[in-house]
Structure 1
Amino acid sequence: MFSEKMDLRLPGPVQVPREIQRAMLRSFDHPMMDYRNEEFQEILKETTDAAKMIFQTQNPVYVLTSSGASALETSMVNLVGPSDTIIICSVGYFGEYLTEIAEHIGVKVIKIETEWGKIVNPEDVRKALKNNSEVKAVFATHCETSTGAINPIKEIANVVKETEAVFVVDAVSSIVGTPLYMDEWGIDIVATGGQKALMLPPGIALITLSEKAWTAVEKHKCPSYYFDLKKYKKWLPIGHTPYTPNIALVNGLLEACRMIERSGGMEAEYKRHACLKEMTRAGVRALGLKLFVEDSIASPTLTSVVFDFMDADQFRKKMREDLHVAIGGGLGQLKGKLLRLGHMGYTDASDILKMFASLELNLVRHGVNVQLGAGVSAAQKYWLENPWC
């Protein structure tokens, strides 16, 4: 009956607020907004200025009409080529993703790997830099979306900034949801996408660079025509992108930034996501399910649950079909073995309660011995007992 009804509790994409939908629709008012006229020039300038807030930076922010993956590739092709060496901190599927981008370019990769669900030891980065003075850049994923673990980006930044290497952070599933202070921590490049805690539909990516990063970029001949950041740097001051922008998504991004400001700013967003994380983890424990990562490194944007006693993907399929709630599954070596519960962006406490009520029903239907209401009750209890929520 309700063929189009779906509640997204995924690690991306997320629900898009009505405010953002309306802002995007204004792009299609008659006549169609011209991206080379003064109206859009002012919107782009205002949007990129507002977006500095989400990175906690004073550096210019550049908009790409593409996905978060494109921002990662952009950061790499503008820094290094086949004769160069980089370090990649790989703690899961998206660390491997970075490695595949590097291998495609032909860059030499020194990998610092951990077991999935764990995080990088900054001292391992220090040792690798000390033993390989030719390294031009260090890449690390902030929130490893495949596991829900948060890498110690501040500590890694402290190590890298002692060298000439450029520090690049994949913040696709962490930006807005998890504390990240680009300027204060000394991060050189941050890349992200819009379809997660920024609450936008897929199709827009953002990247920002420090002066140290720009020094390296200016010395390197970028082999990509579309992703050459020197062109974006040239065009941004006059309110243009070098190629056709997604007008609707730029308008949506501006509204997303305004919504964040109205809600109390970035610190309020960090606090809100932390509360949703704790509600979710309390509910998972109350159901007797196992959390995949330990509390101290758990992401505020998604929670991974071990689910290897039955096929997790079939379980998710039934939950989607019967209860109209979509949750994420495992990736790579964890495919069919995890449930990934998203609690980022356009999500509040009542969404978490609905997710647990649906999850409990689906568990019982599949013969899992859980007490109906246990997860909901634990999440409710956490919310009531913590006024900071």
Structure 2
Amino acid sequence: MFSEKMDLRLPGPVQVPREIQRAILRSFDHPMMDYRNEEHQEILKEAAEAAKKVFQTKNDVYILCGSGASALETAMVNLVGPSDTILICVIGYFGDYLVDIAEHIGVNVIRVDAPWGEIVDPRDVKKALEQHPEIKAVFATHCETSTGAINNIKELGSIVRQFDAVFVADAVSSIVGTPLYMDDWGIDIVATGGQKALMLPPGNALVAVSDKAWGVIDNHKCPSFYLDLKKYRELLPKGHTPYTPNIALVNGLLESCRMIERGGGIEAAYKRHACLRDMTRSGVRALGLELLVDDSAASPTLTSVVFDRMDSDSLRKLMREQFHVAVGGGLGKQKGKLLRLGHMGYTDAADILKMFAALELGLTKVGFNVQLGAGVSAAQKYWLENPYC
């Protein structure tokens, strides 16, 4: 009876609002839209223009078919090649992911690491840049999805601006959900995907590029045929992409940007996500569970809960099967040791309360002594005192 019922409280993908579903479905009205016709050209240009507010930039935003990973690879292959050196800030699984992309390309990587659950010290980045003037680009994950920690992108941007290097932010699980001001913070490339706080199904990659970054890109031969940003720059003013676009998701992106505006704009989205984070952290503490990340670095889009007294995936399975609530698990060396609770995108206070009700029952079912209602009550109390959710 409930085979298709599932409440996604994941670090992505997320619930897709009905408004966006309808925008996507309109793409399949007959006859099928010709992506070279004027109607789609205008939709693509409008979506790319609307996305500028999401990125907090005056720079163009390019829409590619692909996941967030393709956006990250696009940023890298357009800037550097095997003879180049880059610095990567690594604070978890997706920092290592960036290293994997770089090593596949053959780029020389200098790492600045912090333990999982912590963030890099900007002073270490400055020291590395001073010691290695050959560094061509600095890559940093904004929100590390494996831990729920937020790097200090603003401070990192102010440091990288003092050098010739280009600054690239992986904003896959941060865009819309936490403050990110591309132009004001001196970020040269922001790369993201649509399946997180933008509320889309997976399949859209978005990349915004500064003038400083274009100065490097224009003097670099991109080895990828499909991901060459110069081709996208040439065609965007005409409402085209070099290759077949995902018509449905372009329509969905435009509706997502419109929904954000109707909801009070990007600043209101930042406040809502911060409130949902603090509701969640209040509930976790009330249940006596340990948070992986300190308050000062906690992401507004997901919260990681240490759960190593048993395999966390067993609890997740129970919650999916009995309560139709899906939460995330640990990745890499944290597999089976974390619960990652998503609170991004199309999420409100009632979603958080439902998640805690299911979590409390799940904990009880697997043998943990928790006070039923404690997490829900703490989250409710936070919401009543801080009505921004």
Bucket of the pairwise TM-score, normalised by the shorter protein: over 0.9
What is the aligned partner in structure 2 of residue 300 from structure 1? 300
- The C-alpha deviation readout for 1:265-305, integer Å capped at 9, x for no partner, is 00000000000000000000000000000001000000000
**Unmatched tracts of structure 2, length 5 or more:** none
Deviations 1:12-36 (A, max 9, x none): 0000000000000111111111100
Given the alignment of the two structures, is residue 112 of structure 1 paired with residue 112 of structure 2, yes or no?
yes
Percent sequence identity is: 77
- For the pair 1:205 / 2:210, whether they are aligned, the reply is no
- Report the AA paired with residue 191 of structure 1: A
State the distance in 2 between where 1:244 and 1:47 align: 16
Aligned to 1:370: 370
- 2:271 is matched with 271
The aligned residue for residue 155 of structure 2 is 155
After TM superposition, the score normalised by the length of structure 2 is 1.00
Aligned-partner Cα distance in 2 for 1:131–1:114: 19
Aligned to 2:243: 243
Map Cα deviations across residues 328-359 of structure 1 (whole Å, 9 max, x no partner).
00000100000000000000000000000000
Equivalence for 2:313: 313
Structure 1 match to 2:127 = 127
Is residue 140 from structure 1 mapped to residue 166 from structure 2 by the alignment?
A: no
CA distance in structure 1 between the partners assigned to 2:90 and 2:244 by the alignment: 34
* Aligned equivalents of 2:233, 2:350: Cα separation in 1: 43
Distance 1:40 1:387 in 2: 40
Alignment correspondent of 2:287: 287
The question of 1:257 aligning with 2:257 is answered yes
For 1:31 and 1:180, the matched residues in 2 are separated by 40
Q: Distance in 2 between matches of 1:113 and 1:296?
A: 18
Query: 1:385 offset after TM fit, Å?
Result: 1.1
Q: CA–CA distance in 1 between the matches of 2:207 and 2:388?
A: 32
Shift of 1:318: 1.1
Equivalent residue, structure 1, for 2:332: 332
State the match for 2:89 in structure 1.
Answer: 89
Runs of 4+ in 1 over 2 A off after TM superposition: none
Deviations 1:173-210 (A, max 9, x none): 00000000000111000000000000000000100000
Name the CA distance, whole Å, in 2 between partners of 1:225 and 1:388.
Answer: 45
Alpha-carbon distance, 1:388 to partner:
3.7
Q: CA–CA distance in 2 between the matches of 1:40 and 1:21?
A: 17
AA partner of residue 366 (structure 1): V
Residue type of the alignment partner of 1:55: F
Q: Secondary structure at the match of 1:139?
A: strand
Aligned positions of 1:213-224 closer than 5 A: 213-224=213-224
How many angstroms apart in 1 are the aligned matches of 2:144 and 2:235?
A: 33
**Are positions 1:174 and 2:197 aligned together?**
no
Aligned partners of 1:108, 1:311: CA distance in 2, in Å? 37
Distance (whole Å) between structure 1 residues aligned to residue 83 and residue 60 of structure 2: 29
**Secondary structure in 2 aligned to 1:28?**
coil
* 3-state SS of 1:361 partner: helix
Aligned equivalent of 1:10: 10
Q: Please state how far the C-alpha of 1:311 moved relative to its aligned partner.
A: 0.3
SS of residue matched to 1:185: coil
Give 1:387 deviation, angstroms: 3.3
Does residue 351 (structure 1) correspond to residue 344 (structure 2)? The answer is: no
| Residue correspondences, number | 389
Amino acid at match of 1:21: Q
Structure 1: any 5+ residue segments left out of the alignment? none
RMSD between aligned residues: 0.5
Describe the SS at the equivalent of 1:230.
Answer: helix
Q: CA deviation at 1:315?
A: 1.1
Residue 183 of structure 1 aligns to a residue in which SS? coil
For 1:277, what is the secondary structure of its paired residue? helix
TM-score between both structures, scaled by the size of structure 1: 1.00
Which residue identity is paired with 1:198? L
Instruction: Tell me which amino acid in the other structure corresponds to 2:180.
Output: L
What residue identity is the alignment partner of 1:130?
E
**Residue 110 of structure 1, CA deviation:** 0.2
Structure 2 SS opposite 1:328: strand
**Paired amino acid for 1:114:** A
2: CA distance, partners of 1:184 / 1:338: 35
What are the residue-to-residue correspondences of 1:37-76 with 2, within 5 Å?
A: 37-76=37-76
